[in-house]
Chain A
Amino acid sequence: MAEETIEILDSDGINRALTRIAHEILEKNKGSEGLVLIGIRTGGAYLAAELHRKIMAIEGHDVPLGVIDVTMYRDDISSRQNLAVGQTDIRFSITDKKVILVDDVLFTGRTIRAAMEALMDHGRPRNIQLATLVDRGHRELPIRPDFIGRNLPTARNEKIRVDFDANNTPKAVQLHRS
């Protein structure tokens, strides 16, 4: 079969989805009190920054924003190529906070498992909620997102990519089939 690339969302589509997610987060949590945003490096971190801007614009005050790298918590370090370990940057306590964990594409759920374990090493959050731009299915662990940009049933051999421009603004969501 020929290689194929399908655009699922363009930058406007992504922007609308993130705006909706921002409102849903605030609705579900009854405002931004006690809320912190933590993005999973690297795509999730860029999306968390977008959500952070939107939530600040709606609420009119700041919400803590952090970045987490989960490489050192992965369960497959012996069975794949070495990944560079990125830097975690969480300069606030997450204990008793409502943590919105942000990732770009939710797939097997193993990254989220690693991220939750990493978060627990930083403190004891009141709860962890999961926001993802794309949920492509194929979960291997009992993990479910709270906020979803787009549900996208996929085949396992397909690839989903979220592209960012030079300013780390999300540009497009694409599906690759080969």
Chain B
Amino acid sequence: MAFNPKHILGIKDLSAEDINFILDTAAGFKEINTREIKKVPTLRGKTIINLFFEASTRTRTSFEIAGKRLSADTVNISASGSSVVKGETLEDTAKNIEAMHPDIIVMRHSASGACDYLAERLDCSVVNAGDGMHEHPSQALLDAFTIREHKGSIAGLTVAIVGDITHSRVVRSNIYCLNKLGAKVRIAGPATMLPPGIERLGCTVHTRLEDAIRDANVVMMLRIQRERMGATLIPTVREYARYYGLNGNKLELAKSDAIVMHPGPINRGVELSTAIADGPQNVILDQVENGVAVRMALLYLVAGGEKLKTE
């Protein structure tokens, strides 16, 4: 049951065994991050290019630290400082980068499917760090890792995800991942932020936050993505906060030992009240910490392993 992926493009095509293999591998890497010497020679001599066409602090830093702690050479390219602004196409940019023989390209792009597009055209491995409204596999995996760490197991849990579902790649990856691991997923948001047909991915759909979080074991709040919304989907941010923001009273509807998650960056006073954002039930910084271990596992798994039947 070895898992030797050439690329990590999304959760959709992974099996529950693959996901558990990734999480177990990440558990082994987590210990390195608490050592005095935070470096192992695993990926010595490998080159990783972080190609970010969209703004990101957390994910890019996390991938960069993950690569460095595995002794890979990491190079960051962001769209604003690159030839993309001079009109080069994605394929040309990627082909030029590949001519320098990287082993892995970690990419974030605003177009859904951009990573799949590159994976078909390049010989090196591609890891999806978020593509448009499609998938964000490393986020879903670090979420699963964090839930597993706090709850022991994921099977049988009820997870509520609240916010702008339409524009969220985090939700899609999480629905796939949590379903494969045996959790029940409920999503909630204003009707303008619920894409039609989302229930086919495996979740129940609610328009009231209260209905989604009642007796939930995990409450995952999403950021209102003002940069992605374009047309106005909500009357005002204040109204959104009132109906879809999480505060202490609403959280009491969930199980008493429920954990609160958020992929970051948080809008204080919008999705989360300050009391929740600083409260004992939130595990947001655990998510960030675990992100490094999970990304180490992903880089290790795509770099290592004979690529026997993948191509």
Q: How many residues of B contact A (CB 8 A)?
A: 26
A121–B42 Cα distance when bound, in Å, is: 13
Do the beta carbons of A82 and B28 come within 8 Å of each other?
no
Interface string of A46-74 (1 = CB under 8 A from B): 00000000000000000000000101111
- Asked, given contacts A77-B304, A85-B300, whether A121 binds B24 with beta carbons under 8 Å apart, the answer is no
A89–B297 Cα distance when bound, in Å, is: 18
Residue of A nearest to B23 (CB): A84
CB distance from A67 to the nearest CB of B (A): 11
Chain A contacts with B in 70-122, Cβ cutoff 8 A: 71-74, 77-89, 117-118, 121-122
A79–B304 Cα distance when bound, in Å, is: 7
Do the beta carbons of B25 and A85 come within 8 Å of each other?
yes
Do the beta carbons of A78 and B24 come within 8 Å of each other?
no
Q: Which of A71, A79, A81 is the one whose CB lies under 8 Å from B28?
A: A71
Do the beta carbons of B21 and A78 come within 8 Å of each other?
no
Chain B contacts with A in 294-310, Cβ cutoff 8 A: 297, 300-301, 303-306
Do the beta carbons of A77 and B2 come within 8 Å of each other?
no
Do the beta carbons of A77 and B27 come within 8 Å of each other?
no
Which residues on B sit within 8 Å (CB–CB) of A82?
Answer: 2-4, 25, 300-301, 304-305
Number of interchain pairs (Cβ within 8 Å): 66
A73–B42 Cα distance when bound, in Å, is: 6
In terms of DSSP, what is the predominant structure of the interface of chain A? Answer: loop
Do the beta carbons of B37 and A121 come within 8 Å of each other?
yes
Chain A contacts with B in 13-28, Cβ cutoff 8 A: none
State which size class the interface on A falls in.
20 to 34
Which residues on A sit within 8 Å (CB–CB) of B21?
Answer: 84
Residue of B nearest to A87 (CB): B28
A88–B29 Cα distance when bound, in Å, is: 9
Do the beta carbons of B300 and A72 come within 8 Å of each other?
yes
Do the beta carbons of A72 and B28 come within 8 Å of each other?
yes
Q: Which of A77, A87, A118 is the one whose CB lies under 8 Å from B305?
A: A77
Supply 17 further A-B pairs (C-beta < 8 A) apart from A77-B303, A88-B28, A117-B41: A69-B28, A72-B29, A72-B40, A72-B41, A72-B70, A72-B300, A73-B41, A73-B42, A77-B305, A78-B306, A81-B2, A84-B25, A86-B28, A87-B27, A118-B40, A121-B35, A121-B37
Task: Offer 16 A-B interface pairs, CB within 8 angstroms, sorted by A.
Answer: A72-B28, A72-B32, A73-B41, A73-B42, A77-B43, A77-B304, A79-B306, A80-B306, A81-B2, A85-B24, A85-B300, A86-B28, A87-B31, A121-B35, A121-B39, A122-B35
